[in-house]
């Protein structure tokens, strides 16, 4: 069969169509004009015009993480490519599959400091899973197909394909996807049988077990999440999730201890600290989770299921690494569990749950909202949860205290509904990511829980929202501070609030109106429900300015470098905390 | 407002430890084979490893490998690269690096994760292997020192590749240690300029990559 001849730009479009792409997020410029021209002439792919290339990548991330598909970005050379760098780094840190097509100056000008030239492959090499510069049109289709394969397989990540303008014009052969894999890149998805056997034995014997569930389960897909849920239920073990793993196992289930780590729950962190068998499924022992390494879960045997061998023994030396895809590994563990008819040590488990229940009784997320005082941020998010939990609600966040309160107070019972920037912690992630989610799920409720500082980092996306009439809701927890920064300054820098006050804020209600959106504001606790109801009743986009108490801190908190059992409970719990600390070390 | 205890916070900060802690790691009650020897100090744990990496011979691949080392703070003692198969589609990168066993394991996993990397082999771990390096050493000197330089070159089986009235260029191939000692001796005999190729290495025996 002879391949079809067409222009490079047409090859780009045809490759995307053959990869099943229906929407791309982009911003035009000189070096991608041929591709924009080809886009103009077709109807299969929808282009969403963002207002900043960083936002294009975050939108693609939101699209990808809420659908399980690859998110696609198209930007021009030079500033288009450099603007995309933060988004690419974000996608790399959080393992989000993204393909980013960048325009480049014509091949013969590369290296000449041509207009809007930058060394895109050089700049993005450390912030992508892989990147390509395509100098030969005959390799264009093959490279784009390979880019999708690399982005989506193994541990997912962002891939850049840099396409010089002459390659976009030149006629070349189109090659359809071949599905033959790759010569040198072959991620291990199936685990060693022996490792599975030993994992099953360890799980069966455990007396104080805990499942430590991470974003790898989300990456592995819906079936993986269902299998992990089944494993947790069949064992009857407690489970805790990382920020990236939230939603894998239902938060409202009794076996869920909530999130662990720096701002995780008391029960999750103490159960991690005192466990005898830790079963890490798709988590990477991030330092926000482990705290002080030499005091991390002492006396525990650690099983680590991960598709990326470089995640293993990186921060924490584990006893039993199982390299493979979560779905395949857990499927096998469950199969062996059934075949061997395993019954866990119930009396030991009962004792363990009894201890966990005592930790739970501390009620570490307790807060008091009095009617007269200012709105507590926790209260606002709790009410938002109560009033939206029965809908198909997607929550994205910016970065800061509001993000942590969202993780603590918005309970996710389903995977793929929680979008947040964990690894890079990118302020400005939430709004564009909500755009991507809303594009993918036009009829769902999409809410960006934002901070007043973060929202200004990509506020220009209100214009994208207006253009496409996306009914995104922006729920600003407005404490007039870069709250997370202020909290650290209060606790660790003698309350010297250096440059962390949000001065010069816009009137968010008027700002909303200027973009044709609805603006709402609540300043008193008794207005919260009403404002949320109005937000939900509005058909179009809404900005809610939730004016909350300014100096609330986010607890529990394990200060950087502390151990899990040195968790701080905050003003309400601290007295008990001091008294029981000795005891906790002893038990 | 009641603040969390200063004492706790101070302790938390002062006890911050670097990522790698050579102290006894915590191990669970289940015996899964011998624990690595962690009782040594950090410097005792540093090992030198020679790693062979087969890569697709494509633009940027060397930059990826080097960027990995600099970006993650790994050490490169020596790095050489050249195409090694008939049609020049595959290159071999020979890397000499050093680190704790945990770091060496990371280096290999990180290398293997690069898309154009076909194979990563730790020659040091896999057993006996040969390491060779070539150096060109120019020695500028006169009189007795010249004769002494020639005599030492003879002992080391270095070849004279260029001669002028006041200088020699010696070519010497051997283990990196042999090159080191030759160069050291030459430095005593005049001003010395050195060009070294970096280490190439291959496993002994009949198994081929
Ligand atoms: C202000 C702030 C505070 C934070 N506080 C906390 C906190 O209190 N608690 C917390 O948990 N996090 C917190 N984070 C997030 C934290 O920085 C990390 O991003 C997060 O802990 C990492 O989650 P993870 O371990 O699940 O790994 P991810 O980053 O989701 O990585 C996934 C892991 O799974 C593996 N994997 C991927 N796909 C598969 C597959 N198919 N099969 C098997 N394995 C796979 C990958 O190789 C990787 O090792 C905070 C972030 C911010 C910005
Ligand atoms: C791009 C970027 N710059 C700086 C930071 C550091 N940082 C983390 S949280 C934060 C403050 C966020 O303030 P706000 O959005 O108001 O959220 P709050 O903590 O008040 O809820 C800052 C500056 C960051 N995470 N990202
Ligand atoms: Mg704020």
**Could you report the per-residue pLDDT of B88-134, keeping only the tens digit for each?**
999 999 999 999 999 999 999 999 999 999 999 999 999 899 999 99
Active-site position among A14, A69, A129, A165 = A165
Around A264, how many Cα atoms within 13 Å sit in the side-chain half-sphere? 34
pLDDT at A2: 55
Say whether A183 and B56 touch across the interface (CB within 8 A).
yes
> What digits encode the pLDDT tens for the residues A527-554?
999 999 999 999 999 999 999 999 999 9
Residue B31 is predicted with a pLDDT of: 63
Give dist(CA A573, CA A556) in Å, integer.
9
Interface membership of B73 toward A (CB under 8 Å): no
Largest CA distance in chain A: 78
Average pLDDT of span B54-81: 96
- Residue B12, preceding bond cis, omega within 30 degrees? no
Q: How far apart are CA A327 and CA B75, in angstroms?
A: 36
| Among A6, A14, A53, A552, the one annotated catalytic | A53
Look at B30 and A205 and tell me if their CB atoms are within 8 Å.
Answer: yes
Q: How far is CA A490 from CA A453, A484, A487, B52, in A?
A: 18, 10, 5, 51
B113, B114, B119, B122, best to mutate vs chain A, most A CBs in 10 Å: B113
Separation of CA A86 and ligand 3 centre (Å): 21
Chain segment A64-114, per-residue pLDDT in tens: 999 999 999 999 999 999 999 999 999 999 999 999 999 999 999 999 999
Min Cα distance A259 → chain B (Å) is: 21
% of chain B surpassing 70 pLDDT: 80
Q: Percent of chain A scored above 70 by pLDDT?
A: 97
Residue of A nearest to B106 (CA): A310
pTM of the model: 0.94
A571 close to B (CB below 8 A): yes
- Cα separation, A181 vs A187, in Å, equals 10
Q: Torsions phi, psi of A74, nearest 5?
A: -135, 120
Of A566 and A48, which is predicted with more confidence?
A48
How many other CB atoms sit within 10 Å of the CB of residue B169? 17
Residue A125 has its nearest CB partner, among B67, B110, B118, at B67
Q: What is the pLDDT of residue A572?
A: 67
pLDDT in tens, B141-197: 989 999 999 999 999 999 999 999 999 999 999 999 999 999 999 999 999 999 999
* pLDDT higher than threshold 90 for residue B38: no
- Find the mean pLDDT for residues A383-387: 98
Q: Is A561 on the interface with B (CB under 8 A)?
A: yes
Tell the residue number behind the tokens 């991608």, with chain if given.
Answer: A32
Count other Cβ atoms within 10 Å, centred on residue B16.
11
E strands in A177-331:
209-213, 239-241, 256-259, 277-281, 301-306, 320-323
Opening angle at CA A542, ends A536 and A547, nearest 5: 95
B102 interface with A at CB cutoff 8 Å: yes
Whether residue A426 has pLDDT greater than 90: yes
- Report the relative pairing of strands A418-419 and A320-323 from DSSP bridges: unpaired
Contacts of A248 (CB under 8 A, 6+ apart): A213, A217, A218, A225, A228, A229, A241, A415
Token code pair at residue A154: 């193994």
What value of ipTM does the predicted structure carry?
Answer: 0.92
- Flag whether pLDDT at A49 surpasses 90: yes
Ligand 1 lining (C-beta closer than 6 Å): A 94-95, 155, 214-216, 219-220, 242-245, 259-264, 282-284, 286, 288-289, 306-308, 311, 325-326, 399, 403-404, 422-423, 425, 484
Ligand sitting nearest the alpha carbon of A224: 1
Indicate the average pLDDT of chain B: 86
Q: CA B52, B54, B58, B64: dihedral to nearest 10 degrees? A: -50
Residue A258 near residue A267 (C-beta atoms within 8 A):
yes
Q: Would you call A54 a catalytic residue per the annotation?
A: no
Q: d(Cα A255, Cα A252) in Å, to the nearest integer?
A: 8
Give the per-residue pLDDT at A570: 83
| Residue A58 CB contacts under 8 Å (≥ 6 apart), including other chains | A87, A90, A426, A428, A429, A432, A433, A436, A458
A116 is catalytic: yes
Q: Which residues of A398-436 are buried (b: 16+ CB within 10 A; e: fewer)?
A: bbbbbbbbbbbbbbbeebbbbbbbbbbbbbbbbbbbbbb
Phi, psi of B100 (to 5 degrees): -70, 165
| Average predicted confidence (pLDDT) for chain A | 95
pLDDT by residue (tens digit) across A186-226? 999 999 999 999 999 999 999 999 999 999 999 999 999 99
Distance CA A575, CA A578 (A): 5
Mean pLDDT score, B63-85: 97
pLDDT (0 to 100) of residue A559: 85
Residues from chain A contacting residue B63 (CB–CB below 8 Å) = 122, 125
* Alpha helices per DSSP H over A284-429: 287-290, 326-339, 346-361, 377-388, 401-409
Q: Is the pLDDT of residue A144 over 70?
A: yes
Residue B95's DSSP bridge partners are B51, B79
| Confidence (pLDDT) at A587 | 19
Residues of chain B positioned with their CB less than 8 A from the CB of A561: 12-13, 15-17
State the pLDDT at residue B27. 58
Is residue A351 annotated as part of the catalytic site, yes or no? Answer: no
CB contact under 8 A, B5 and A578: yes
Residue with tokens 């936002």: A55
The sign of the CA dihedral A377, A379, A383, A386 is positive
Percent of chain A whose pLDDT exceeds 90: 93
User: Cα A88–A94–A95 angle (5° rounding)?
Assistant: 80
- pLDDT for the residue B20: 35
Instruction: Using pLDDT thresholds of 50, 70 and 90, give the confidence band for residue B41.
Output: low
pLDDT at A85: 98
Residue-level pLDDT at B34? 53
Our answer to whether residue A53 is catalytic in this structure is: yes
Top mutation candidate among A89, A262, A400 for ligand 2, by most atoms within 8 Å of CB: A400
Kindly report which listed range (A381-395, A399-413, A555-569) carries the lowest average pLDDT score: A555-569
């Amino acid at each position: 069969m002879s391949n079809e001849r067409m222009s490079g730009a047409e090859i780009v479009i045809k490759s995307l169509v053959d990869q099943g792409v229906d929407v791309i997020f982009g911003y035009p410029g000189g070096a991608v004009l041929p591709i924009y021209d080809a886009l103009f002439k077709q109807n299969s792919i929808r282009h969403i015009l963002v207002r900043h290339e960083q936002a294009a990548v975050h939108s693609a991330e939101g699209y990808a993480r809420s659908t399980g598909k690859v998110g696609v970005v198209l930007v021009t050379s030079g500033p288009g490519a450099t603007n995309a760098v933060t988004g690419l780094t974000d996608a790399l840190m959080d393992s989000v599959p993204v393909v980013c097509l960048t325009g480049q100056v014509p091949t013969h000008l590369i290296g000449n400091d041509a207009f809007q030239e930058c060394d895109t492959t050089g700049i993005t090499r450390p912030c992508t899973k892989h990147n390509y510069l395509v100098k030969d049109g005959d390799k264009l289709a093959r490279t784009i197909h390979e880019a999708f394969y690399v982005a989506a397989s193994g541990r997912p990540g962002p891939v850049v394909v840099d396409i010089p303008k002459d390659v976009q014009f030149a006629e070349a052969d189109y090659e359809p996807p071949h599905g033959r894999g790759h010569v040198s890149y072959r991620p291990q998805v199936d685990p060693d049988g022996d490792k599975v056997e030993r994992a099953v034995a360890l799980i069966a014997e455990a007396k104080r077990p805990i499942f430590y569930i991470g974003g790898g389960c989300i990456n592995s897909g819906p079936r993986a999440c269902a299998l992990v849920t089944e494993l947790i239920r069949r064992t009857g073990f407690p489970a805790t999730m990382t920020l990236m793993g939230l939603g894998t196992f239902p938060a409202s289930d009794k076996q869920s201890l909530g999130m662990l780590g720096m701002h995780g729950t008391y029960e999750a962190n103490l159960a991690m600290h005192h466990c005898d068998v830790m079963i890490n499924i798709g988590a990477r022992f991030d330092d926000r989770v482990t705290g002080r390494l030499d005091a991390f879960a002492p006396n525990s045997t650690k099983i680590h299921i991960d598709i990326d061998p470089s995640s293993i023994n990186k921060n924490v030396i584990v006893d039993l690494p199982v390299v493979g895809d979560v779905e395949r590994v857990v499927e096998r563990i469950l199969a062996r569990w059934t075949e061997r008819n395993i019954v866990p040590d119930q009396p030991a488990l009962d004792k363990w749950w009894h201890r966990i229940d005592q930790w739970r009784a501390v009620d570490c997320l307790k807060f008091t909202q009095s009617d007269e005082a200012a709105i507590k941020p926790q209260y606002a998010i709790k009410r938002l949860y109560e009033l939206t939990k029965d809908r198909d609600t997607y929550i994205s966040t910016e970065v800061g205290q509001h993000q942590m309160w969202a993780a603590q107070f918005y309970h996710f019972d389903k995977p793929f509904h929680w979008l947040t920037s964990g690894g890079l912690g990118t302020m400005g992630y939430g709004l564009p990511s909500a755009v991507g989610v809303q594009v993918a799920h036009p009829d769902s409720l999409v809410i960006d829980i934002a901070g007043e500082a973060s929202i200004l980092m990509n506020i220009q996306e209100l214009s994208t929202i207006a253009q496409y009439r996306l009914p995104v809701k922006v729920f600003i927890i407005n404490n007039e501070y870069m709250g997370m920064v202020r909290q650290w300054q209060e606790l660790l820098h003698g309350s010297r609030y250096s440059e962390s006050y949000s001065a010069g804020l816009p009137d968010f209600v008027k700002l909303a109106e200027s973009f044709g959106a609805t603006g709402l504001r609540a300043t008193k606790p008794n207005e919260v429900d009403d404002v949320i109801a109005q937000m939900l009743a509005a058909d179009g986009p809404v900005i809610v300015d939730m004016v909350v108490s300014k100096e609330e801190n986010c607890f529990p908190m394990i200060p950087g470098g502390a151990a899990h059992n040195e968790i701080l409970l905050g003003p309400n719990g601290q007295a008990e905390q001091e008294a029981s600390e000795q005891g906790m070390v002893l038990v | 407002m009641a603040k969390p205890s200063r004492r706790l916070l101070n302790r938390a900060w002062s006890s911050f430890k670097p990522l790698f802690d050579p102290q006894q790691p915590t191990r669970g009650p289940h015996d899964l084979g011998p624990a690595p020897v962690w009782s040594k100090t950090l410097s005792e744990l540093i090992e030198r490893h020679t790693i062979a990496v087969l890569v697709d011979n494509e633009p940027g691949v060397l930059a990826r490998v080097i960027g990995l080392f600099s970006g993650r703070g790994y050490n490169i003692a020596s790095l050489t690269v050249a195409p090694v198969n008939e049609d020049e589609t595959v290159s071999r990168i020979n890397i000499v690096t050093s680190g704790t066993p945990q770091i060496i394991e990371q280096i290999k996993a990180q290398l293997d994760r690069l898309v154009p990397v076909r194979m990563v082999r730790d020659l040091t771990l896999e057993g006996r292997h040969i390491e060779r390096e070539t150096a060109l050493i120019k020695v500028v000197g006169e009189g007795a020192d010249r004769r002494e330089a020639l005599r030492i070159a003879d002992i080391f089986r270095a070849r004279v590749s260029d001669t002028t009235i006041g200088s020699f260029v010696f070519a010497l191939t051997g283990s990196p240690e042999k090159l080191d000692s030759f160069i050291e001796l030459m430095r005593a005999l005049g001003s010395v300029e050195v060009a070294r190729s970096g280490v190439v290495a291959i496993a002994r025996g009949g198994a081929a990559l």
